[in-house]
Amino acid sequence: MWLVITKTFKNEGVEVLGWRPVPVNTNVVGYYAKETMPNIQQVLVKVPKEENADDIERELYICRKLVEKASKSEVWQDELYFCSLSNQTIVYKGMLRSEVLGQFYLDLKNDLYTSAFAIYHRRYSTNTSPRWPLAQPMRLLGHNGEINTIQGNLNWMQSREATIKSPVWRGRENEIRPYGNPKASDSANLDSAAELLLRSGRSPAEALMLLVPEAYKNHPTLLIKYPEIVDFYDYYKGQMEAWDGPALLLFSISWNS
C-alpha cells in the first residue's frame, strides 16, 4: 500500500518526506472497533511546484484520487481511506464513544499540539453499516441528519460526470472521477460533492448553497432584504439538484481565493 501511495505521489511531483504512526490508546476502544481498527498513519509530503494553499489542496486532492484509482486492482483496496490529506486541516475520527476520543488519540492530550480552532461532531452512519471511514466528521463536513434524495443525487452526479469541467483541472477531470460512491454513506457522498465544488474553484458558501439550498420560495425576509440570494437559487436550481433532507451541517474549510 505504501509503495503505491509513494509512487503515485512521486509521479505527481509530490515528495513523501516520511510516515508518522499516529499514537493511540487501544485500551479505550470497544471490541468490534478494536477488531476492525485500521493502521492509522500520517503521511508528510512536500508539494514544491504549487504556489498557494488552494493549489496545494487541489494537487493533494488529485493525488488522493489517483491513489484510490490505483487501489482498485489491489487486495487492500477496501482497507485504504484518507481522512484528510490536506495542508490546512487534520481529521481525527473513529468508531469510538465521544467521551474517549481524546483518550484514544494521544495527540489531543499533548499540550504542545495546538490548533486555531476545532470542529467536533459525533455520529455514526445509520443508512449503512458503521465502519471506521464512515465515522464523523468527514473530510470537510460534519453532517447530522439524513439525505433522503441520496440515490437520485448519486445518479445525477454519475450522469453528468463526463460534462463536468473546470479550467483549474487543466484537462484532468477524467483522473478525478468518479465523484460519488454508492458504497459510502449519504454524509460521505455529500462531503465528496462539496469537496469537488470547492476544489473546482467555488467558495465554501457557494458550494454549500448549491448543494443544500434553503427553503427560499416565498420567504419574506429573503425576497425583501436579499433578493440576490433568491436569484442565486433560481439560477442554479436547474443546474444542481438539491441534496434534500433534515440536516445540520458544520464545515471547516480554509479559503484563500
The CATH number of whichever domain residue 219 belongs to comes to: 3.60.20.10
106 belongs to a structural domain: yes
pTM of full prediction above 0.75:
yes
Per-residue model confidence (pLDDT) at position 257 = 52
256 belongs to a structural domain: no
Q: Please report, as a single letter, which amino acid is at residue 209.
A: M
The pLDDT averaged over each successive group of 10 residues in the chain (257 residues) is 94 96 96 95 88 90 96 89 94 92 95 88 72 91 91 94 91 94 92 95 93 91 94 92 88 65
57 belongs to a structural domain: yes
233 belongs to a structural domain: yes
| Residue 166: all three cell numbers together | 473546470
* CB of 24 closer than 8 Å to CB of 90: no
Per-residue model confidence (pLDDT) at position 190 = 96
Grid cell 465554501 is found at: 204
**Into how many domains does the chain fold?**
1
For residue 207, what are the domain limits?
A: 2-251
257 belongs to a structural domain: no
Determine the Cα–Cα distance for residues 111 and 5; give it in Å rounded to an integer. 31
